[in-house]
Structure 1
Amino acid sequence: MTALAGTVLAGAARRARAGQAGGAAVLTIGAGAPATSIDPHFYNASPNISVAQHIFDSLTTFDARARLKPGLAESWRPVSETLWEFRLRPGVKWHDGRDFTADDVAFTIGRVPNVPNSPGGFGGYVRTITRVEIPDPLTLRLHTAAADPLLPVNMAGVSIVARHAAEGAATEDYNSGKAAIGTGPYRFVSFRPGDRVELLRNDRYWGGAEPWEKVDYRFILNDGARTAALLSGDVDLIDQVPSSDLPRLKREPRIDIAQIQGLRLIYLAPDFSRTGEEPFVTDNEGRKLARNPFLDVRVRRALSLAINRQALAERVMEGTAQPAGQWLPPGTFGYNPDVPAPPYDPEQARRLLAEAGFPQGFRLTLHSPSDRYPGDARTAQAVAQMWTRIGVRTEVEAIPWASFAGRSARQEFSIRLIGWGSQTGEASYALVNILGTYDPAKRRGASNSGRYSNPALDALTERAVATLDDPARERLLQQAVQMVADDVAIIPLHELVNSWAMRRGLRYEARMDERTMATHTRPA
């Protein structure tokens, strides 16, 4: 037995003995990114959603391959072009024993777009709903402003909260547990920001009791520490497996790996919110530029052409990413086969910069999270080197996600590296939320931190999402994908391959939406 295998085996034995002594089945998860709140409507970010989905349910939900299935709604049907009817699951109880009813859903729909201080909320999911009708406690009718064929899909993104617990409650009341009463498979115990969430099994769960009596959901942001915690037996499962550790973990007989092509795009978002000076852009002598250079499509195209995406995927990400020119992988609804990853062409990039009035380039700072996405800071450093080679001298400031998210939402950066996971598995989710013009009243652009705005794209998106015929809607979405690419609204880098590692004896159902869930973890 190798020393490494011995360490793993000893750690697993320690955990097994501890579980037997306590008489409880405990699952300990090591997550690579932190949830910032227990409030399920506060921030549309994957770590938050992963935790929330243990506590709360939605009307519809997705399986591991992003296919829609029933949740709190047993069935749904279109009554007319602008009316959907949902039949709710009977006998569902809140964690405090009260009955779940359609009134709770109506309250939730009203709360979702109105959460104070949200850095990027869920309003896009309910933006077409104009009125909620409740014929009886288990029937819900949702009236929409126009035809909305994707409403059942969008409702999978809305966690349902209890009116009696949530009315008048603030985000802090969820974090303390006061309002964190759901219908989900686990009950809230405690939340320590930046450290962990503790959960206890809901034995009365409508979907059947889970095998784990307790879940210790830890946030271990350092890649090396996360791998070490798994190898020592301190945790049972980790996500965001460091690409540099994958070969070693795949050879380790006491560790299993689960992987799947993901739905998350890693991309660069330039700032469109300012026409004049940018806070982190200067000329080569350090003087502020009079005009925001990112407003010139030639500059955006130059920056894109200067990036060797194949090198990023193969060397920086060590084969755990695929170069991308759009936000969804092949085979998904709305993917446009005519929009490949942009070529690597530094000479053309230099010519475009010269045409735009920057023959000697300029200087900028690229901001990136340091602990949110696999390889995020390393990717930013590699992009910075590529841009420097074409005369755009680039520095990188990589900061913890807890700080990055808020600053990005406030448009404090000139250009940032960020990610977007299209959990609906189709193209309109990104078009509405990260590419649509920021407009809280229309519940559009909630996560559009760069404030890109294109009225023609907005109009095309509105046509697409209101088109009932699937082939016609997909053609419109593909047109929108082409429009985004032509205007370089964002600079796509790569799509991630999602990876989990777990101790032998466990099985994890790998998810395209990268959620890390106790509910998808089972004894092998």
Structure 2
Amino acid sequence: MADQLHLRRRALFALPTAALLAGTSQAARAQAPSQNLTLAVAAPPTSLDPHYHTLSPNNAVAAHFFDKLVDRDAAAKLQPGLAESWKLVDDTTWEFKLRKGVKFSNGQDFTAEDVVFTLKRVPNVVNSPGSFSMYSRAVVTTEIVDPHTIRMKTAEIYPLLPYDMNNIFIICKSVGDNVATGDFNNGKAMIGTGPFRLQSYSPDDRIVMTRNDSYWGDKPDWAQVTYRFITSNGVRVAALLSGDVQMIDVVPPSDTPRLRTTQGISFSEIPSLRCIYLKLDVEHEVSPYIFDNDGKPMTKNPLRDLRVRRALSMGINRAGIVERVMQGVGTPAGQMMPPGALGYNPNIPVQALDVDGAKKLLAEAGYPNGFKISLLGPNNRYVNDAQIIQAIGQMWQRIGVTTTVDAVPFSVLAQRQAKNDMSAMLIGWATSGEPSTALKGVLTTRIPEKGFGTTNFNGFSDARVDELTMEGLRTADDTKRDQLFQEAMKIAMQELGLVPLHMQKNIWALRGPMTYEARADELTLAMSVKKAG
């Protein structure tokens, strides 16, 4: 109060000066929105290291500071990135022509040596919970033709190398051979060619970044961006409504009707390439979170029986989840690819709810009275993820499987997944617009030296899926390759290497005169937020 009285007295005796200062302050406030952007996303990254974890939040953050040889537009189509062009020189040699005049944020020129350095590092990141090696393993040797031309040799015909190069961020060789993940998190190694520079990083809170005015591409509209992590749906929406942030992702379905009628709020939306699914533990002989009806550990893992996996899938009402839990923001799924995408197999049905059929299969498998299971899932990663596992738990109760729901932060879930510390788990996978990444990442046998099964921690393995996937990867004919991948997906779904639930829809909400180009890959990119007009 004393401060307010003091300010009032100053205003009485110095009105012209006060008016001038007020005008300056108002001008500054009016200018701030045109220079600074604050947005909020639902899921924080697990690291700033662009090669640490194949996770969409990590990739979204990395895209602000680093570039890839091959980029991807909002519809997931490949575009030139740090490579202006690429071509097959012979059946096993790809040549990439690199951009000239590109500089890293430390002023060093970008050259082919940085690409070689990056490819060597990717498979050697320590303690990676989801390795990017699936995208680098096809390259057996590299040849630097000149500073801006690099050739990558594969062991056999491999037509998908440009897609793989769309997933690897290029780092500067000056960070050193033994650069640790921690050096990215503390900012020391955050040297990239991207549109922004790192100013500060507060894990699980925010990243502050400033525009890289020497960026080779289109400059962002924003001089400074505060990229906040707000996992709570209610808090994230409240921040948008109050003006604390100007954009949010993962708009909660329950808040969508209200936001659509709020003046000044606009939406940007697109069908997603992300499939939400369940992993079922088929690796352990005795699964850690399955018990008999007396609460005693079972002597064998019932999930290894295909009939049990089918029963659990049949016990899920996918249409009900999409309609009631997701409030229509999604599409029931029977496979990893959405309709219309490469690799989508129209002959794979979406499993319908069949309670009686599920009970019959459980009885045939020797579990007429069911068993007890814990269903693990995140509570801060996907749209209504905690509610989804709650709903599935109730559905499984109806087929005789007593279910305990374990909803945890995604950072905890990621570590448990890497150790296969689960019996059943909800997770998601966003494809890159074609099916090989889903097949290689989660449905092929885990063979790290081949880059296969890099996130297949539940132990699923089928030789036919492996063989068809490998054959597809070395098939140059696009139509034949697509058929091979479709067949591999069909077998994997018949064997329930995972249990698909639904495809998400990506929705962003904006406050004020701005636009955002909705992305099928769900990445929230500050450089894609544009001032209206």
Instruction: Quickly name the TM-score band, shorter chain normalised.
Output: over 0.9
TM alignment of 1:147-296, pairs within 5 A: 147-275=157-285, 277-296=286-305
Cα distance, 1:360 vs. partner? 0.3
Asked if 1 retains the 8 angstrom alpha-carbon contact of 2:465 and 2:489, the reply is: no
Amino acid at match of 2:153: H
Q: Distance in 2 between matches of 1:168 and 1:176?
A: 15
1:376 equivalent in alignment to 2:420: no
* Distance 1:16-1:273 versus aligned 2 partners, 3 A rule: farther
Deviations 1:396-416 (A, max 9, x none): 010011111111111111110
Q: Distance in 1 between matches of 2:184 and 2:89?
A: 36
Asked if 2 retains the 8 angstrom alpha-carbon contact of 1:127 and 1:444, the reply is: no
SS in 2 for 1:259: strand
Deviations 1:200-247 (A, max 9, x none): 100010003211001100000000000000000000110000010011
SS in 1 for 2:166: helix
Cα distance, 1:426 vs. partner? 0.9
Asked if 1 retains the 8 angstrom alpha-carbon contact of 2:34 and 2:531, the reply is: no
- Partner of residue 53 from structure 1, selected from 52, 63, 68: 63
Asked if 2 retains the 8 angstrom alpha-carbon contact of 1:306 and 1:390, the reply is: yes
TM alignment of 1:16-165, pairs within 5 A: 19-20=29-30, 25-165=35-175
Deviations 1:232-282 (A, max 9, x none): 00001100000100111111121001110000000000112212x211100
* Bigger Rg over Cα: 2
Q: Distance in 1 between matches of 2:176 and 2:272?
A: 33
Q: Which runs of 5+ in 1 are unaligned?
A: 1-14
**The 10-residue stretch of structure 1 (452-461 or 261-270) with the greater mean CA deviation from structure 2:** 452-461
SS in 2 for 1:326: coil
Partner residue in 2 for 1:459:
467
Asked if 1 retains the 8 angstrom alpha-carbon contact of 2:464 and 2:488, the reply is: no
Q: Distance in 2 between matches of 1:177 and 1:188?
A: 7
Partner residue in 2 for 1:352:
361
Q: Distance in 2 between matches of 1:23 and 1:418?
A: 37
Q: Distance in 2 between matches of 1:294 and 1:81?
A: 43
Deviations 1:184-212 (A, max 9, x none): 00011111111011111000100032110
Partner residue in 2 for 1:515:
523
TM-score, with structure 1 as normaliser: 0.95
- Partner of residue 342 from structure 1, selected from 324, 340, 351: 351
SS in 2 for 1:499: strand
**The 10-residue stretch of structure 1 (164-173 or 293-302) with the greater mean CA deviation from structure 2:** 164-173
* Distance 1:232-1:147 versus aligned 2 partners, 3 A rule: same
Q: Distance in 2 between matches of 1:485 and 1:16?
A: 60
Q: Distance in 2 between matches of 1:98 and 1:473?
A: 40
Amino acid at match of 2:324: R
Identity %: 47
Partner residue in 2 for 1:8:
none
Q: Which runs of 5+ in 2 are unaligned?
A: 1-24
Q: Which runs of 4+ in 1 moved over 3 A?
A: 15-24
Cα distance, 1:113 vs. partner? 1.1
Cα distance, 1:24 vs. partner? 6.9
Cα distance, 1:167 vs. partner? 2.7
Cα distance, 1:16 vs. partner? 8.8
1:304 equivalent in alignment to 2:313: yes
Asked if 1 retains the 8 angstrom alpha-carbon contact of 2:249 and 2:508, the reply is: yes
1:332 equivalent in alignment to 2:360: no
Partner residue in 2 for 1:12:
none
Cα distance, 1:373 vs. partner? 0.5
Cα distance, 1:452 vs. partner? 1.3
- Partner of residue 372 from structure 2, selected from 363, 380, 400: 363
Q: How many residues align?
A: 508
Amino acid at match of 1:501: A
Deviations 1:434-468 (A, max 9, x none): 11111211121111121211122111100011100
TM alignment of 1:397-436, pairs within 5 A: 397-422=406-431, 424-436=432-444
Asked if 2 retains the 8 angstrom alpha-carbon contact of 1:368 and 1:417, the reply is: yes
Amino acid at match of 1:161: I
TM-score, with structure 2 as normaliser: 0.94
1:437 equivalent in alignment to 2:467: no
Amino acid at match of 1:406: Q
Q: Distance in 1 between matches of 2:381 and 2:476?
A: 37
